[in-house]
Structure 1
Amino acid sequence: MAATGVAGAAGMTALSGCGGGPGSGKVTLKLVAADYGTPGGNNSSKIYWRKLADEFTRKNPDIAVDVTVHSWNDIGKKLTEMVDKGNPPDIAQVDSYADWAAEGKLYKVNELLPIPAQAEFLVSLAEAGEVQRVQYGLPFVASTRVLFYNKDLFKKAGLDPDEPPESWEDLKSAARALKSAGVKIPYGLPLGPEEAQGEALMWMLGNGGSYVDSVGNYTINSPENVETFQWLRDNLVTPGYTEPGPQRVDRQKMFEAFTEGQVGILNGHPTLMQQADKKHLSYGTGKLPGSNGPAEGTLGVADWMMAFRKNGHREACGKFLAFVFDEKNHYAFTSQYGLLPVTTSASRRMRKDKKQKKLWPFLDQIAGAEFYPVGKVSWASTSAVIKKTIGQAAAKGGDPKAVLTSLQRKAEAEEEAGAS
């Protein structure tokens, strides 16, 4: 899943939103959604959507909902094919929207939802759903990142298991102690193609950098970002405190190694917490370290819903989306999958739910989290190149300035091509 990086169960399932099947209402909405379930598990998202669609149609008998659920491995390609063939669904739930918004294929959020419903979305997420200051993307679920560390390995290395590192120097010192204690991977640095853009941004934020500035211009090769990767190369990778080639290490591989007790410290999201709990791992969490103390912000990731104009079902789409984001329905989904709500009311509910106490540190950060610049039409292609390349900037013997400058030029070229 995009918000957590965990692929859902493979395959495709069509669901009817009412007992009589698609077409039994005056309007049949077609929804394409992603599966957040565990591969091979019995928690597929199709169960949630079936129940929700049936309940919606009982309350709105003139509107049927026909849902198709794809795995995260397939949904991007499947949805793009549908749109390119001129046959988009009425509503989609996926990880990006900007291209279709720029092409005029999506409804604006203010065409779908009344003002009180629009105001329910957390401000930082609503803004992340904008293209040229107009909101097209409806945040569906979100996650943030924290530092994870193995308490048993900290004890083994003579480190205080209740004090996570707060600065880069603290982190370096802890990694040195962990290596001396024989820990296989003192710090997990997954800069491989699975989600290098996320790990890289977390480190950039710790030094006052980012992918873009306050007005949306790319700043990939800023002095702050170059300094960040120089520090990673010289202080973690070259001394051997990470795996030898972090540019080839995928995040899920590192998560699995952490749950097996082989990694001392790494950055992670709520799903890692669930995986570690299943293995009964003794771990702690803390804020992301920064160059001079705890980082001021953290990475936020959201998945999105959107409504296509093609079939003209604006009013029906709006009704269904309002139902999806009703507090009870939205909270049912986020609490099931260990994700963060995107509305004020559901966030308050999670804050009061002691069963979700472990998610509170992630929830605390969401208002100040930095999200990928998904509203830029150039971001999808730029992100793809970053995933493949940016890890080279931290590699032993790598040239951070050259790598980041090359990425900056490619990003600017994509931006210029998208504007023409």
Structure 2
Amino acid sequence: MTGWLAVVTALGMTAAVAGCTGPATAQEVTLRLVAAEYGDSPANSSKKYWDDLVEKYEADHPKVRVKVSVYSWNQVDRKVKDMVAAGKAPDMAQIGAYADYAARDQLYEAGQLLSIPVQADFLPQLSDAGKVSRIAYGLPFAASTRVLFYNKKLFADAGITSAPKTWSDLAADAAKLKADGVKTPYALPLGPEEAQAETMQWLLSGGAGYTDEVGSYQLDSEKNVKTLTWLKDNLVGKGLTGPTAPAKLNRAAAFAAFTRGEVGMLNGHPTLMKAAAKRNVEYGMVPMPGRGGEARANLGVADWMMAFKRNGHREEIGDFLDYVYSPKNVLAFSREYDLLPVTTAASQTMSTTKSDSALTPFLDELPQTELPPVGKTSWAEVSAAVKERIGRAVSPNGNPEAVLQGLQQLAEAAENAEQ
């Protein structure tokens, strides 16, 4: 949040401007939204979700039309980037990153769009992650956390009676699974698809992370070096991470292997529950272990909604987004796609509703989550470098300290380039 005074001031100023130069409400306004695809079939396509929401909104707003284009996650960020570069920015985009657009002054501030109750309802850690230079531009749209999934049958067959609570437990359990013939005792996806997430989860459980308390990069901290060294020596080096080298293993492949009953343990998010259940894999979920007990923090991930200033329509965009973030719509989206709600009201409802109990382990982790430094415009470059290099750090001939030092140098250079 930008603070009550800042929000009220921003709203007051923009209201004054709107009073002088606001859009002509006598004629129809068309808003264009580009959104990401969360479904895995036509039956649960995001287009179906948005079509239903827009139909209901337009019924009460006859002067506003909302046109939604939905693209896969492999396309949507690039699509928006190309539209902006061509001078044809959409009014709104629901994608994976916002900081570059905010840094170029292309986005409305959250306080210029949303009513105070809606803006205040965002979960604090998600709202804070949506800020650039302490001003909120990215509106959290969907969230998830990570927990440790384990295959109950494989554990029982290997004589393991409880889930791991420490790194030592995890390594010992992985060794028992390997001895019992499990193909991949612990899946460590450090391939290019989402290595930055798996890496951050381990760095957090080792007591550090990508940044320090004041937001400066600390990739090569002593704790981070120790974390990757432990992974290299105690899991990868002992053959406990399966036949595919971590640097070549992507998350999707690791998840698929878990649903085939080939993986003993891995970090997973809520969508893995449904995929595993479809294949009749009996699984358990526990918080990710830390070095000597509970991890310092857990990984949180968010996708973002943003509004571009190019076409104007500030009032219409704000009114539509207030509707998008109403409790019923936040809950409907979260339930449809097994994601966590981004607002306090919806989270409280879900945490007390029996039909949502499967998500309880993830909801319990949400208050302790830490998100990647998505508010840094340098993060896109740093994240790409982590995806490319981090797998080498834990390879048989890898050097965790050297890899992390190289990433730190890149991060500092990218950070300096922002200024």
TM-score by length of 1: 0.92
Alignment of 1:14-413 (within 5 A): 26-38=28-40, 40-160=41-161, 163-244=162-243, 245-413=245-413
Shift of 1:311: 0.8
SS in 1 for 2:209: coil
1:178-224 Cα offsets, whole Å, 9 max, x none, are 11111111111111111110111111011111001121111111100
1:115-174 Cα offsets, whole Å, 9 max, x none, are 1111110001000100011000000010000001111111111110xx210100001110
Name the amino acid aligned to 1:27.
V
SS in 2 for 1:88: coil
In 1, are the aligned partners of 2:129 and 2:373 still within 8 Å (CA)? yes
Shift of 1:25: 5.8
Name the amino acid aligned to 1:189.
L
Question: d(CA) in 2 for partners of 1:356 and 1:328?
Answer: 14
Name the amino acid aligned to 2:78.
K
SS in 1 for 2:44: coil
1:258-297 Cα offsets, whole Å, 9 max, x none, are 1111111111100111111111111111010111112131
Question: d(CA) in 1 for partners of 2:397 and 2:46?
Answer: 45
Question: d(CA) in 1 for partners of 2:86 and 2:96?
Answer: 20
SS in 2 for 1:73: coil
Superposition misfits of 4+ residues, deviation over 4 angstroms: none
Question: d(CA) in 1 for partners of 2:280 and 2:409?
Answer: 46
1:328-363 Cα offsets, whole Å, 9 max, x none, are 111111101100000111111111221111101101
Name the amino acid aligned to 2:395.
A
SS in 2 for 1:149: strand
In the other structure, the counterpart of 2:21 is none
Shift of 1:241: 0.5
Question: d(CA) in 2 for partners of 1:294 and 1:348?
Answer: 24
SS in 2 for 1:284: strand
SS in 1 for 2:66: strand
1:343-389 Cα offsets, whole Å, 9 max, x none, are 11111111122111110110111121010110000001110111111
SS in 2 for 1:191: coil
Shift of 1:52: 0.9
Name the amino acid aligned to 1:84.
A
Question: d(CA) in 2 for partners of 1:177 and 1:50?
Answer: 50
Shift of 1:243: 2.5
In 1, are the aligned partners of 2:287 and 2:365 still within 8 Å (CA)? no
1:280-319 Cα offsets, whole Å, 9 max, x none, are 1111110101111121311000000000000111100000
In 1, are the aligned partners of 2:186 and 2:240 still within 8 Å (CA)? yes
In 2, are the aligned partners of 1:25 and 1:61 still within 8 Å (CA)? no
Question: d(CA) in 2 for partners of 1:199 and 1:252?
Answer: 12
SS in 2 for 1:290: coil
SS in 2 for 1:203: helix
Identity of aligned residues (%): 52
Segments of structure 1 that go 5 or more residues without pairing to the other structure are: 1-23
SS in 2 for 1:193: coil
Question: d(CA) in 1 for partners of 2:386 and 2:263?
Answer: 25
Name the amino acid aligned to 1:37.
G
Shift of 1:61: 1.3
In 1, are the aligned partners of 2:157 and 2:180 still within 8 Å (CA)? yes
Name the amino acid aligned to 2:354.
K
Name the amino acid aligned to 1:67.
V
Shift of 1:42: 2.1
In the other structure, the counterpart of 1:12 is none
Segments of structure 2 that go 5 or more residues without pairing to the other structure are: 1-25
Shift of 1:41: 4.0
> What is the number of residues matched between the two proteins?
394
Question: d(CA) in 1 for partners of 2:327 and 2:370?
Answer: 24
SS in 2 for 1:310: coil
SS in 1 for 2:43: coil
TM-score by length of 2: 0.92
In 2, are the aligned partners of 1:25 and 1:64 still within 8 Å (CA)? no
